[in-house]
Amino acid sequence: MSILKDKNILLGITAGIAAYKSASLVRLFIKAGANVKVVMTPASKEFVTPLTLSTLSKNPVYSSFINEEDDNQVWNNHVDLGLWADYLVIAPATANTMAKMANGVCDNLLLATYLSAKCPVYFAPAMDLDMYKHESTKASFEKLTAYGNQLIPAGTGELASGLVGEGRMAEPEAIVNFIENDILDQLPLKGKKVLITAGPTYEAIDPVRFIGNHSSGKMGFEIAKAAVNLGAEVILVTGPTHQKIAHSSVDIKPVVTAEAMYNEVHQHYKTSDIAILSAAVSDYRPDNVADQKIKKKASTFTITLEKTKDILKSLGEIKTNQFLVGFALETNNELEHAQGKLKSKNLDLIVLNSLQDKGAGFGVSTNKVTFITASNEIIENELKSKADVAEDLMQLILKQSHA
């Protein structure tokens, strides 16, 4: 999964021969999971057709303030386009367009959108060798980067004139990689390792039966997604679950029992910066597991249970520089019990949710939580999606840990 997943990318295309590469660029953004809209300068339509780009992006292509073919002549609002975009990418960026951008000239829809955009802007120059090296072009580069725009360096190769040299627009794959790496480098958890547990554990009674709980693992998986979106490398230790996540920065460690989760967590804890234990770990397990399926004979059946290892407490006992977060699912005296766990297990933060709250707990896509910090600050939250709860949690961790 790319860092561009679910992001809104506005692709600006100007009138250079490299515009033929824009179709591939749209496809790569879509493949990365982004939503794409395209704004073209009127002259760029001589190099690539709006029909091609609208088909690939699955969105209308904009090139003028009004649609001339439309009898109703609906206004294409450049402000709305600029606000929609998470990132504006201008590729190819010709010398003409860059000079206008650098000097605030606003004579087409793309330039008006650029001047209205509040998001990061990337531009990929494309022109012939002499134009690329001209002092006026260098001045445009300097101005645009001074304004905070990101230059995607041109490559060296055969140019439209037949010359060989600098000025060739970066290849679409290189443009996507440049943007992804630039975004990652600016994320607050870049270079940090986050250890997360999720889901239930199952404790065998015999080869067929087990003791477990109703945890789906969704909360832990949403936390993993939120951590990755902040640039973290994630170790996700998960019990049995149907949840899925596919991301190069998430290393999934599947386990079944509390003992296996304990061992896996301890294997990674010392090298972690943040540990978030959201799994619903079994507190007890059968002290004797039958080798064969237990037959139904007597009218009653007794199983003797023994305590499992307390993973969260064991981490609190050996904590050095890690920021340690626990979860507490309670049914009575919720706040008191959560505060007790926070202190006794040496946590930096605990997330309390109650089965008394409608829409919270296992098997649902929402949660209603209260965050309690080590300084006993109590932060109550309304009912939210588990994805939103995960984002709130990660933002609070950033604030509390100064990660």
Helix/strand/coil for 93: strand
Gap between the terminal Cα atoms of the chain = 24
Marked catalytic residue, from 67, 177, 213, 346: 213
Rounded Cα distance, 18 and 168, in Å: 8
**Residues 109, 65 contacting (CB under 8 angstroms):** yes
Asked about 213 being catalytic, the answer comes back as yes
User: What residues contact residue 366 under an 8 Å CB cut-off, 6+ apart?
Assistant: 359, 360, 383, 384, 385, 386
How far is CA 402 from each of CA 90, 323, 342, 374, 377, rounded to the nearest angstrom? Answer: 35, 10, 20, 14, 17
- Chain centre to alpha carbon of residue 70: 39
> Quick one: which of 173, 103, 88, 92 has its CA closest to 131?
92
* Strands annotated E in 27-153: 35-40, 61-62, 87-93, 121-125, 150-151
The reply to whether omega before 92 is within 30° of 0 (cis) is yes
Active-site residue set: 213
